[in-house]
Amino acid sequence: MKLYFIFSNLNAIVLAIWTMFLIIVAIRYLRPDWVKNISYFKLLLIAIGLNIFYGLFVTWGQYHVWANGNQITKALLSSPLGKEVPLPFLLEWIRPLFEHSYGYFLFYVLGRTWLDTSLLFLISGAVYSLFRIWKSYRGGFLEQGPEILLILMLASGYPGILVFIPIGFILAVLFSIYSSIRGKASINIEPAFIVAAFVALIFAPAILNVLQ
Assess contact for 23 and 199: CB atoms under 8 A: no
Angle formed by the axes of helices 10-30 and 190-211, nearest 10°: 150
Minimal CA–CA distance to 164: which of 119, 126, 124? Answer: 124
What pLDDT shows up at residue 180?
Answer: 78
What pLDDT shows up at residue 1?
Answer: 60
Cα 71–77–79 angle (5° rounding)?
A: 100
Assess contact for 131 and 101: CB atoms under 8 A: no
What pLDDT shows up at residue 140?
Answer: 63
What is the chain's pLDDT, residue by residue, as a tens digit (212 residues)? 677 788 889 999 999 999 999 999 999 999 988 887 899 999 999 999 999 999 999 999 999 999 988 888 888 888 988 888 888 767 788 888 888 888 899 999 998 899 999 999 999 999 999 988 887 776 666 778 899 999 999 999 999 999 999 999 999 889 888 877 776 656 778 899 999 999 999 999 999 988 87
What pLDDT shows up at residue 96?
Answer: 86
What pLDDT shows up at residue 12?
Answer: 94
Distance CA 203, CA 192 (A): 16
